[in-house]
Structure 1
Amino acid sequence: MKVLVLGAGAIGSYYGTRLQQAGASVTYLVRPARARQLRQEGLRVHSELGSFSGPVALVEAGQELPASDLVVLACKSYDLVDAARSIAPAVGRGTAILPFLNGLQPYDQLDAMFGKDRVLGGVAYIAVMLQADGSTRQLGTADRVVLGARSPAFRDLAEDLYALLARSPGQRTVDERIEQQLWNKWAMLCTGAAVTCLFRGSVAQILATAHGAACVEAALEEACRVAQAEGFALQVQDLQQIRASLLNPASPWKASMARDIDQGLPRIEADAIVGDMLARAARHGIAVPTLRAAYVHLQVYAGAQAASAPPAG
């Protein structure tokens, strides 16, 4: 399988190398500065499940893109429009797109650009970070991927991709109910991001407070009400898994957006992860006070970052 990976950030690097190790022909589409670094130092992924260090095939924006069976999108949601434009020349009649992006808003955008048939569903439960030296580090050993075709047109390719990924370490599943899986992940992530960003702490730190668990439960209930109104009610076993994660008093987990805030990054995925959930809640007349408070906090942070940014030019 010929795979083009947009970007060589944490998620792109990690799953790009897993696909390469499984036998795929993988090329990374990267910016010039990242290309120079990778040519000098190689791509490096540190993981207890198996590390990688070595040269990889690269192409830069503006160069001719290789023909691809699959394009993996692992950018931030706020970069999606530019990312979609950059991969468009590589998307042929038989090319599928696999987004590893947060929320459902990116799927709406990709469906409008490329058609729903070719946009696969992809859910990754993993914690990875791009280090200051350009390497990627997996935090812990959890690595679960659920994927599936969102229409019959690319079902065979989704099955082939599953067979390929299944050769790599981690838990791999192909699911015909991938739309439900996307909602399950978004409900969990929206809840986790809302509370870990709002309270500026890990799950363990939040649960150690007098009312932390109640706040987590309130945020989760709000997200689940929206999912149900949209036609994707979470099942009992799915809720049990989410609660086991977000109500674990020993968990050091923080959402990646909370880690971005800790680092003072200028841009965050507030709109895709929390804001879009609020927009859908409003369409159905659902009150979501906990998620709304978290979104206000995220907007204040984003506004402060924008105000402190040096003027363009």
Structure 2
Amino acid sequence: MKVGVMGTGAVGGYYGAMLARAGVEVLFVGRPAQVERLTTEGLRLQAQAFDERLRIEATDDVQHLAACDLVLCCVKSGDTEAAGEQMAPFLSPNAVVLSLQNGVDNAPRLAATLRPSQLVAPAVVYVASEMVAPDHVRHHGRGELVIARWTPRPGQPAPDQVQAVFTRAAVPVELADDVQAALWSKLVLNSAYNALSALSRLPYGPLVRHEGVLPLMRAVVAECLAVATAEGVRVPDPWPAVLRIAETMPGQFSSTAQDLMRGKRSEIDHLNGLVVRRGEALGVATPANRALHVLVRLHEARLDTSHEPARG
């Protein structure tokens, strides 16, 4: 199985590197400057148990994804459509595309840009990682995936085959018949932490120790659950998982915080912003999520957000 990684950032870099480290043939797609660095220097994966520099295959030419059986779409949520449009002419009809992205609607948005028969499966990502440099991924913890099952057609990778490839790379994978509850559970975690970590510029551990933070998080979580319920999605009580994030990843900054610190537009429109939009459509009030969404957008308004889409 040859695996393509569309978007060599913190998520794509981590999972692609773990697969490559296990001997899987991996093709990384990135921007030209990053590809040049990856080609000459390799990709450094700095984890808790090891620190290795891997010789990898990288390109800025999306058409090379045609040779891949499995494609990991790891671009930011705001670049989903652009990435799909770039990939669409070149993907093999039997390729499986996994959406390894934040939010609950990336898989259908991605599928809408591809040929109708292209299989796109959503995945829930639980990993703490950051892109320290264009050729350097630092892993802070976790790394498991929850992937939606699919029924493969002849010649197409099956879910258990994909699970086996990740397992060989020491990446735990759970296959789910209904992944919506897991997607919403992750959205709740992101909505609780991402904006607050970004606005305070604090990692999770110190963040939750500040007065008033946990009650605010509870309000955010309650609104998310109300919207999910109105959507017909039953989400198990997420509060223990919310508290566990700060315990297991105390030094981790949210991806939104990392984006703002690098002068990049964040995914806040697809996190708290999505909760606000769905709440408006369903008649559910979301004042805590709205406030966090507006505050992050105000910070973004001060940034130069003109970036090439789809590959970062």
TM-score (norm 1): 0.87
Q: Which 4+ residue blocks in structure 1 deviate beyond 6 angstroms?
A: none
Distance 2:218 2:262 in 1: 28
Map of 1:97-246 to 2, 5 A cutoff? Answer: 97-114=97-114, 115=116, 118-132=119-133, 134-139=135-140, 141-149=141-149, 151-153=150-152, 157-236=158-237, 238-245=238-245
Distance 1:199 1:210 in 2: 13
Q: CA deviation at 1:90?
A: 3.4
Map of 1:290-301 to 2, 5 A cutoff? Answer: 290-301=288-299
Equivalent position amino acid for 1:31 in 2: R
Distance 1:116 1:48 in 2: 40
Secondary structure of 1:267 counterpart: coil
Equivalent position amino acid for 2:259 in 1: D
Pairing 1:29–2:29 present: yes
Task: Describe the superposition over 1:81-101 as per-residue Cα deviations: whole angstroms up to 9, x where unpaired.
Answer: 222122223322211111111
Distance 1:109 1:202 in 2: 31
1:57 is aligned to 57
Task: Describe the superposition over 1:149-193 as per-residue Cα deviations: whole angstroms up to 9, x where unpaired.
Answer: 2x4347962211111111222433222222221111111112211
2:310 is aligned to none
Pairing 1:67–2:67 present: yes
Structure 1 pair 156–148 and aligned structure 2 pair: CA distance change class (3 A): farther
Distance 1:281 1:193 in 2: 19
2:284 is aligned to 286
Secondary structure of 1:143 counterpart: strand
Structure 1 pair 253–65 and aligned structure 2 pair: CA distance change class (3 A): closer
Secondary structure of 1:119 counterpart: strand
Distance 2:230 2:208 in 1: 29
Q: CA deviation at 1:264?
A: 4.3
Task: Describe the superposition over 1:238-286 as per-residue Cα deviations: whole angstroms up to 9, x where unpaired.
Answer: 443234335x59934431102222x241311121122112111111111
Structure 1 pair 46–148 and aligned structure 2 pair: CA distance change class (3 A): same
Equivalent position amino acid for 1:162 in 2: Q
Task: Describe the superposition over 1:190-219 as per-residue Cα deviations: whole angstroms up to 9, x where unpaired.
Answer: 221133234443333333333221111111
Structure 1 pair 231–49 and aligned structure 2 pair: CA distance change class (3 A): farther
Secondary structure of 1:113 counterpart: coil
Distance 2:181 2:222 in 1: 17
Q: CA deviation at 1:116?
A: 8.4
Q: CA deviation at 1:26?
A: 1.1
2:309 is aligned to none
Distance 2:117 2:196 in 1: 32
1:266 is aligned to 264
Q: Greater share of helix residues, 1 or 2?
A: 1
Structure 1 pair 164–50 and aligned structure 2 pair: CA distance change class (3 A): farther
Structure 2 residues not aligned, in runs of 5+:
307-312
Structure 1 pair 250–54 and aligned structure 2 pair: CA distance change class (3 A): closer
**1:194 and 1:219 in contact (8 A); partners too:** no
2:256 is aligned to 257
Identity over aligned pairs, percent: 25
TM-score (norm 2): 0.87
**1:72 and 1:98 in contact (8 A); partners too:** yes
Count matched residues.
304
Secondary structure of 1:292 counterpart: helix
Structure 1 pair 157–11 and aligned structure 2 pair: CA distance change class (3 A): same
Distance 2:232 2:55 in 1: 45
CA-atom RMSD, angstroms? 2.6
Distance 2:63 2:172 in 1: 35
Structure 1 pair 93–109 and aligned structure 2 pair: CA distance change class (3 A): same
Equivalent position amino acid for 1:137 in 2: R
Secondary structure of 1:97 counterpart: strand
Equivalent position amino acid for 2:291 in 1: A
